[in-house]
């Protein structure tokens, strides 16, 4: 498969409609205290493989999709599901990116089924920080980095930047790949999110007037869960069922999943959120009162707008709402 850097992957994700994220499982054995989706060793996992097969095949057949990310939970706990998804998506010419903690690397030699899958991927995102180390120790990260590098697959390491986590991660990368590790891996500092178990550790640090928010960087690629739920963005709370219902669709088969993905990709409101951002939308009549109201995050403003829009759609049959929709479509067209 074609290799890709972190910047190239982000560019594809920001190209609206070019990618989706396949959320393969809620389950994860590591138990990090900061987990933004509250994944646990006994969390739900795939039970309906016919549904999974149907939705994967639909994603594989969508010509506009060039990349599919696979996350969770920990996708490598789902041997059958991950194998099915990676093989079929890669066979369809999709770039496949997997997000993992590397828990599967208990020894320097990976299980054979993982060795067979890794060459089919475009990049592997390895997550590590003090919380991951507390859950599984540093050795698995080192082993995983060596295994992935052994297949010449690009490695992107995501590390929450707190305490000495970055320094410890650099040391682990040096141990795994040698002093020239930057030629084989990228280290991307991240921040903890106040979702899931992370809500007990983190909080948004400041409040911002609605007009001050720029484009949303997570609304250009939808998320498809293993159980058929499709969400407009990768906000972890939305994936797990929180927030406005208008941000989710529950599909019963692959055909409905495809329809939901396309609906979100083509929606003028979500297109505008990615193009100009909700701050610019506060200039529209229906959102003008939100310009000076303060929000702790862009998601809070989005949720307020989404709920208001859903109510307006229920109550209005056109008229002023139609004029406002025309303005929204004009802003959304800035993505073209």
Q: What is the pLDDT of residue 327?
A: 67
Query: 303-329 in b/e burial notation, b at 16+ Cβ within 10 A?
Result: bbbbeebeeeeeeeeeeebeebbebbe
Query: 294 - beta bridge partners?
Result: 209
pLDDT score at 110: 94
Phi, psi (degrees; rounded to nearest 5) at 297: -155, 165
pLDDT of residue 317: 56
**Site of tokens 């193009």:** 275
Q: First and final CA of the chain: distance in angstroms?
A: 29
Predicted local confidence at residue 100, as pLDDT = 97
- Look at residue 335 in the predicted model and tell me its pLDDT: 56
| Strand partners of residue 208 | 295
Domain ranges of the chain: 6-203, 267-333
Helix (H, G, I), strand (E, B) or coil at 245: helix
pLDDT for 271 equals: 93
As given in the structure block, the two tokens for residue 151 are 């297949």
Half-sphere exposure of 283 (CA within 13 A, CB side): 12
**pLDDT at position 46:** 97
Look at the pTM and tell me if it is higher than 0.85.
yes
Contact by Cβ (8 Å): 22, 71: yes
What is 6-203's CATH superfamily?
Aldolase class I (3.20.20.70)
* pLDDT score recorded for residue 287: 94
Q: How far apart are CA 85 and CA 158, in angstroms?
A: 23
pLDDT at 1: 62
Beta-strand runs (E) in 88-241? 95-100, 123-127, 155-160, 185-190, 208-209, 222-225, 229-231
pLDDT one digit per residue (tens) for the chain, 336 residues:
678 999 999 999 999 999 999 999 999 999 998 898 999 999 999 999 999 999 999 999 999 999 999 999 999 999 999 999 999 999 999 999 999 999 999 999 999 999 999 999 999 999 998 889 888 989 999 999 999 999 999 999 999 998 999 999 999 999 999 999 999 999 999 988 888 898 888 887 789 999 999 999 889 889 999 999 999 999 988 998 899 999 999 999 999 999 999 999 999 999 999 999 999 999 999 999 999 999 999 999 999 999 999 998 887 654 445 455 666 776 676 655
pLDDT on residue 319: 46
């Amino acid at each position: 498969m074609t290799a890709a850097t972190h910047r190239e992957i982000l560019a594809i994700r920001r190209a609206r409609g070019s990618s989706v994220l396949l959320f393969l499982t809620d389950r994860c054995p590591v138990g990090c205290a900061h987990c933004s989706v509250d994944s646990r060793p006994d969390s739900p996992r795939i039970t309906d493989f016919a549904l999974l097969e149907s939705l994967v095949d639909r994603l594989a057949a969508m010509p506009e999709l060039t990349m599919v990310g696979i996350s969770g939970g920990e996708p490598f706990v789902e041997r059958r599901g991950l194998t099915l998804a990676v093989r079929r998506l890669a066979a369809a010419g999709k770039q496949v990116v997997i997000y993992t903690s590397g828990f599967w690397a208990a020894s320097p030699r990976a299980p054979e089924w993982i060795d067979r899958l890794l060459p089919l991927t475009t990049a592997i995102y390895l997550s590590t920080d003090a919380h991951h180390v507390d859950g599984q120790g540093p050795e698995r990260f080192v082993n995983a980095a060596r295994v992935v590098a052994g297949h010449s697959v690009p490695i992107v390491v995501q590390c929450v930047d707190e305490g000495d986590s970055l320094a410890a991660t650099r040391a682990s990368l040096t141990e795994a790949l040698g002093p020239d590790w930057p030629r084989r891996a990228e280290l991307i500092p991240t921040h903890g999110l106040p979702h899931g178990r992370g809500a007990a550790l983190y909080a948004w640090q400041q409040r911002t007037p609605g007009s001050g928010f720029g484009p949303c960087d997570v609304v250009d690629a939808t998320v498809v869960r293993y159980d058929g739920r499709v969400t407009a963005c990768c906000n972890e709370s939305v994936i797990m069922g929180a927030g406005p219902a208008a941000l989710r669709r529950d599909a019963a088969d692959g055909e409905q999943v495809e329809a939901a993905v396309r609906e979100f990709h083509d929606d003028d409101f979500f297109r505008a959120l990615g193009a100009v951002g909700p701050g610019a939308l506060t200039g529209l009549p229906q959102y003008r009162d939100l310009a000076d109201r303060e929000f702790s995050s862009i998601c809070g403003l989005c949720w307020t707008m989404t709920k208001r829009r859903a109510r307006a759609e229920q109550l209005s049959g056109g008229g002023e709402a139609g004029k406002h929709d025309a303005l929204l479509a004009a802003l959304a067209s800035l993505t073209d």
